[in-house]
Amino acid sequence: MDGMKKEQPESALQMRRRTSESTRHKLSAFAGALLKEWKRLGLPARDERVVVAVSGGADSVALLLALCEMVRAGRLDVKITAAHLDHGLRGAVGAEDARWVKALAEEFSLDFKIGRAEVKKLAAVSRDNLEQAARRARYEFLIKAARKVGARVIVIAHTMDDQAETVLMRLMRGSGAEGLSGMEAVSAFEDKGELSLVRPLLNWARRADTEEYCRERGVRFRVDEMNSDENFTRVRVRRQLLPLMQKFNPRVVETISRTASLLSEDASALNASAAELLRRASEEAENSSKPPALSVQILRAAPAAVRTRALRQWIARARGHLRRLELVHLLAVDGLLEGERGGRMIVLPGGLKISRRKQRLELHTEKG
């Protein structure tokens, strides 16, 4: 007993080091929730690069900070590229936003990509509204950035609030269940290879959560005054419609988000059936470069919900997109199937024409 070395009491410095070691891998509540969703969605956990869209607002800054926290804690082993696009709508303020995002990325030693677009000019050419043109420009920029750095995942900071606003806007435009299913947490870019668009905040985070997390981290996010401009439909939905609905149901945002998730599950099943219907109704060979004509008889025999989705897929393949296509247009195309008379035609937004010739539906582009 006398020969045993007597254990010395732990010094204050050693205690602080031990406490620091034990808490080093502990995540904040926000980052912990993000990590849980990241795993649930099956997103890459190591040996990958991800591109994070960062506008400078609370949502995107919170997402970036939480991903950095997860990496620093050893819970995630990915490389991060912060990507910011100046839409050319806010003059000097937009340029300042870009410098702010660049400084934030440098503070965390992150790779970053900064771009600029002239959204007003793009909107005039495409005949889209500013919001649609800005979204398209943003995604094109993010796709280019991802390809440049070799990333397969683009991460967007859409929250439950964004989902609720999107669903309500689509409801007012007359969208069907497909549109009312809202945004997906994980989706693939059509014809863009293996690139995936990921929204890991969509199913659980509110805008208030991202703002609170930024305050906890001591980071002052940027505020876009366009988010208060009620000339934009989304802003009016956010500032007028949703507050009114919350008087009837204080958790209306969560309710809308949950409903969108349920509709998304239904839509997935119906889309699979629609793809099979489209295959059976197509009359041209699969390797034909022309959009296939469709059998009226086969389409007419299918349930309306499946048939409408099949027509939607058919039009999307011909146009390359579904911009400005609403439920009223699909119903007009569906109306061509009625009766036995051919020689009828409708024109969709963008100039695409669909005609009924005897027992066939045919697509005609403007050039065709």
DSSP for 124-180 reads HHHT--HHHHHHHHHHHHHHHHHHHHT-SEEE----HHHHHHHHHHHHHHT--HHHH
Tens of pLDDT, residues 261-308 = 999 988 889 999 999 999 999 976 455 556 789 999 999 999 998 999
Q: At what angle are helices 130-149 and 119-126 packed, to 10 degrees?
A: 110
pLDDT at 191: 55
CA dihedral 346, 350, 351, 353 (to 10 degrees): -40
Average pLDDT over residues 130-145: 93
For the chain, give the mean pLDDT.
88
Average pLDDT over residues 361-366: 81
Average pLDDT over residues 95-114: 96
Average pLDDT over residues 12-31: 62
pTM of the model: 0.81
DSSP label of 282 = B
Average pLDDT over residues 177-187: 90
pLDDT at 10: 53
Cβ-in-10-Å burial (0-12, 13-18, 19+) of 49 comes to: middle
Share of the chain above pLDDT 70, in %: 89
Tens of pLDDT, residues 31-84 = 999 999 999 999 999 999 999 999 999 999 999 999 999 999 999 999 999 999
